[in-house]
């Protein structure tokens, strides 16, 4: 694993400090501590059931930590998604990430309500329109009738509506054809590099993930097993031992 | 002809009530996932307290109506807050069955309690509008029927506008589609569910008060409306509230015509026959689709 000195330094934006969380008294993650700098993209990898999604849900406030705490912009984060949205967080889940029975327009309208004001919403809408033009061509369609890639783009466009400063993504490439996954990751790269948005991304597809992140945390059986820079991971021939 | 006209008027009036009750029951069932059988209880409670306060206590009718609306609405909201949510917390996996059983229990206990409070066989009347009406081509249209029809359709159009044209409606549809995802977008599903209960309980209370004005209020007056509400809600699933309104009207008219032609016994069977055909149809269509597909692939 890479030494901490090799890792990019920056002001901690998100700090997860010794967090234990889970479901109905059973801890799915234990004593996890990670951080994300401002404008930094960080990946989380691990085997199925390692606790990656639980970690994202805990950061977003859906699951309250049983111990430890989460700091975002030097403030302790409450276990309240609405408060966290107002503070600048957005979560795109791994599955069922759009309201399938609602139109694309209604999906975007729901997300739009979280923007600070109409100007912010309009600006975000314009940016998303440029990133994912296909979504805006399908406004009247039911979201459930879109292709997997279009739905994924819609979900990210929805999350961008309130200009979050930290985007939490859970397996954005899952179920997508390689070229569609590439388009999604190109968009994410644009968001971090051009707009300074921080990203915390859970992803199994390492080549895609390493194209956008600076660092990767490895989670195994609910515990933090290590941390590596993207550069060091790119030098590897295989990644089997990481999972 | 005049007899048919009168049957039609009574069918349209009853149909409007079924439609509004069905729209309300459908909203609570599909958005919240609660089989709120006690909808009928608060429909009855609203009618009872309105008629009781007006005829027994001598309150002015508008005040009695307000009292009935408050009782019916608070009853529904209280049921969600203190009964259904408690079940959610204790047996999350059994909520649908748990809510149905609890709801049924509430109906039995609530009706018995009303019986005790208001005497053994209580019936009360309230005069909402004058007893007479219009006569069009010899067909009598009582004021109360016109009032029922008008209020029900105002309620239906209001529900339609709320669900299809407002952000609250969008939130309801989002919670119906995926409550977890709704929370990711800053929607509080519990708050939305509570608002749905308030809206449908208010609609139920208004319908109960109308029935108390049209016939007589009694503790068990909500027992039959809930069956109609369930039938209309399931027939109208996935359709707009205005279409649900038309389904309710069709049910009311068919029921009234069957009653006129074949008598009361068959009239009460109509609703169950329609429900049976619908349930069998829903189960039958996918089976037939599979059979046809198998035949096509066999060749």
Q: Domain holding A90: CATH number?
A: 3.40.50.300
Residue B26: closest CA among B289, B228, B256: B228
Contact B185 A111 (CB under 8 A): yes
Nearest neighbour of B185 by CB, restricted to A62, A100, A114 = A114
Q: Tell me which chain A residues have a C-beta less than 8 angstroms from the C-beta of B176.
A: 101
Average pLDDT of the residues in B53-82: 96
List pLDDT tens digits, range B248-282: 999 999 999 999 998 888 887 887 788 788 777 77
Query: Measured between CB atoms, does A95 come within 8 Å of chain B?
Result: no
Query: Measured between CB atoms, does A158 come within 8 Å of chain B?
Result: yes
Query: Structure tokens of A104?
Result: 């694309």
Neighbours of B147 (CB within 10 A): 17
The answer to whether residue A19 is domain-embedded is: no
- Percentage of chain B modeled with pLDDT above 90: 67
Q: Distance between CA atoms of A8 and A211, rounded to whole angstroms?
A: 16
Residue A161: closest CA among A108, A104, A93: A108
Q: Structural domain tally of chain A? A: 1
Q: Distance between CA atoms of A185 and A201, rounded to whole angstroms?
A: 11
Contact A110 B178 (CB under 8 A): no
The answer to whether residue A8 is domain-embedded is: no
Give chain A's mean pLDDT: 89
Residue ranges making up the domain that contains A232: 40-62+80-242
List pLDDT tens digits, range A30-60: 999 999 999 999 999 999 999 999 999 999 9
Percent of residues in chain A assigned helix, strand, coil, to nearest 5 = 40, 30, 35
Contact B184 A60 (CB under 8 A): yes
The lowest-confidence range among A96-105, A176-185, B117-126, B150-159 is: B117-126
From chain B, which residues contact A within 8 Å (Cβ)? Answer: 167, 170-171, 173-174, 176-178, 180-188
Contact B184 A110 (CB under 8 A): no
Give the CA distances from residue B131 to residues A22, B134, B140, B206, B218, in Å, rounded to whole numbers and listed in that order: 64, 11, 12, 19, 20
Q: Note the pTM of the prediction, 2 decimals.
A: 0.87
The answer to whether residue A129 is domain-embedded is: yes
The answer to whether residue A21 is domain-embedded is: no
Burial of B198 (0-12, 13-18, 19+ CB in 10 A): middle
Nearest neighbour of A81 by CB, restricted to B171, B174, B184 = B184
CB pairs under 8 A between A and B: 54
Please determine, for residue B150, whether its predicted confidence score (pLDDT) is greater than 90.
yes
Region B2-271: CATH code: 1.10.3470
The answer to whether residue A68 is domain-embedded is: no
Query: Structure tokens of B224?
Result: 């039959």
The answer to whether residue A74 is domain-embedded is: no
| Per-residue pLDDT at A60 | 95
């Amino acid at each position: 694993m890479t030494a901490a000195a090799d890792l990019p330094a920056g002001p901690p934006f998100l700090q997860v400090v010794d967090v234990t969380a889970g479901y109905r008294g059973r801890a799915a993650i234990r004593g996890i501590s990670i951080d994300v700098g401002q404008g930094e993209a960080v990946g989380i990898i691990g085997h199925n059931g390692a606790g990656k999604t639980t970690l994202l849900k805990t950061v977003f406030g859906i699951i309250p930590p049983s111990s430890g705490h989460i700091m975002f912009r030097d403030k302790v984060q409450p276990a309240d998604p609405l408060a966290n949205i107002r503070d600048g967080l957005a979560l795109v889940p791994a599955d069922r990430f759009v309201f399938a029975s609602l139109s694309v327009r209604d999906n975007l309208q729901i997300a739009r309500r979280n923007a600070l004001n109409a100007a912010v919403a309009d600006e975000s809408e314009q940016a998303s329109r440029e990133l994912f033009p296909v979504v805006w061509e399908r406004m009247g369609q039911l979201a459930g009738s879109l292709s997997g890639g279009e739905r994924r783009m819609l979900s990210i466009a929805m999350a961008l509506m309130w200009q979050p400063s930290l985007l939490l993504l859970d397996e954005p490439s899952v179920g997508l054809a390689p070229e569609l996954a590439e388009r999604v990751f190109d968009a994410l790269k644009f968001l971090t590099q051009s707009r300074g948005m921080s990203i915390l991304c859970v992803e199994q597809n390492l080549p895609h993930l390493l194209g956008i992140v600076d660092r990767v945390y490895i989670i195994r059986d609910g515990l933090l097993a290590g941390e590596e820079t993207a550069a060091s991971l790119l030098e590897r021939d295989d990644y089997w031992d990481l999972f | 002809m005049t007899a048919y006209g009168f049957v039609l008027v009574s069918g349209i009036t009853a149909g409007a009530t079924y439609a509004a009750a069905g729209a309300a029951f459908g909203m609570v069932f599909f958005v919240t996932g609660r089989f709120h059988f006690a909808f009928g209880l608060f429909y009855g409670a609203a009618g009872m307290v309105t008629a009781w306060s007006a005829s027994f206590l001598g309150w002015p009718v508008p005040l009695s109506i307000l009292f009935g609306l408050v009782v019916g609405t608070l009853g529904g909201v209280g049921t969600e807050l203190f009964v259904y949510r408690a079940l959610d917390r204790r047996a999350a996996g059994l909520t649908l069955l748990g809510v149905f059983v609890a709801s049924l229990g509430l109906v039995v206990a609530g009706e018995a309690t009303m019986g005790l409070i208001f005497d053994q066989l209580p019936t009360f009347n309230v005069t909402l509008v004058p007893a007479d009406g219009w006569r069009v081509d010899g067909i009598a249209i009582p004021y109360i029927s016109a009032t029922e029809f008008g209020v029900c359709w105002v309620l239906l159009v209001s529900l339609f506008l709320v669900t299809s044209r407002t952000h609250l409606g969008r939130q309801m549809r989002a919670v119906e589609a995926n409550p977890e995802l709704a929370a990711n977008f800053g929607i509080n599903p519990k708050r939305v569910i509570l608002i749905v209960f308030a809206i449908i309980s208010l609609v139920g209370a208004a319908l109960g008060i109308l029935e108390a004005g049209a016939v007589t209020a009694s503790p068990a007056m909500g027992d039959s409306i809930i069956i109609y509400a369930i039938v209309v809600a399931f027939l109208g699933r996935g359709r707009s509230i205005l279409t649900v309104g038309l389904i309710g009207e069709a049910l009311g008219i068919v029921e009234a015509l069957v009653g006129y032609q074949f008598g009361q016994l068959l009239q009460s069977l109509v609703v169950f026959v329609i429900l049976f055909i619908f349930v069998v149809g829903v189960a039958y269509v996918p089976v037939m689709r599979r059979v046809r597909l198998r035949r096509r692939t066999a060749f």
